[in-house]
């Protein structure tokens, strides 16, 4: 809630900084980015693909974690029968597996990890398309500013461009499909 209020305050300050004549002559619309991300099929498909990728990584992690647990369990059961040299080798093997598992976790979920890179790779082109569609709709309808609902405390529904943006995206997708010679 505070983030939304803060965004509204920032937007109000930015508008207040613009000369009064410019604001009076400006046409301001808004979009609901959450509605676009939950409605736009390409965005949903990309999110599903990112989720599948995450599930694959989780399975791989769980498999390694189970293997480590098995090694520890075997060591605990058999350590009394092992020579000191064998115990030392098995402990080193367990430590190596723990380090591999930790490295895997860091490579996957750390800053700039596999999961973050894959999600960005999937979503970035779609976000660019959405931004281009917003710009096209704003230009076609004569809007000077288009804000996200997260930055707005109240707005008249007459200035909601969300559906127009979704229709623009659909139109662009259909045109791209036709130019590729495909059917829906």
pLDDT in tens, 81-140: 999 999 999 999 999 999 999 999 999 988 899 999 999 999 999 999 999 999 999 999
Specify the fold of 2-43+132-179: Protein Binding, DinI Protein; Chain A (3.30.910)
Give the mean pLDDT of the chain. 89
At residue 24, the pLDDT reads 62
DSSP summary character for residue 82? S
Residues 53, 133 contacting (CB under 8 angstroms): no
Helix (H) or strand (E) holding 28: strand 28-31
pTM listed for this prediction: 0.72
The region that residue 28 occupies, defined by phi over 0 for left and psi between -120 and 50 for alpha, beta otherwise, is beta
Confidence of residue 180 (pLDDT cuts 50, 70, 90): confident
């Amino acid at each position: 809630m505070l983030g939304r209020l803060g965004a509204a305050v920032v937007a109000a300050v930015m508008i207040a900084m613009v000369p009064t004549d410019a604001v009076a002559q400006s046409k301001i619309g808004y979009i609901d980015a959450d509605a676009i991300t939950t409605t736009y099929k390409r965005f949903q498909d990309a999110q599903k693909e990112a989720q599948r990728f995450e599930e694959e990584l989780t399975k791989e992690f769980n498999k390694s974690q189970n293997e480590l647990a098995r090694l520890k369990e075997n060591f605990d059961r058999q350590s009394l029968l092992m020579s000191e040299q064998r115990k030392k080798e098995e402990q080193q093997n367990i430590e190596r597996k723990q380090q591999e598992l930790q490295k895997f976790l860091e490579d996957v979920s750390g800053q700039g990890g596999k999961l973050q890179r894959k999600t960005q790779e999937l979503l970035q082109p779609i976000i660019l398309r959405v931004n281009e569609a917003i710009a096209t709709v704003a230009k076609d309808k004569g809007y000077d500013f288009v804000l996200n609902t997260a930055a707005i405390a109240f707005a008249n529904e007459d200035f909601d461009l969300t559906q127009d943006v979704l229709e623009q995206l659909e139109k662009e997708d259909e045109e791209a499909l036709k130019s590729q010679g495909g059917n829906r």
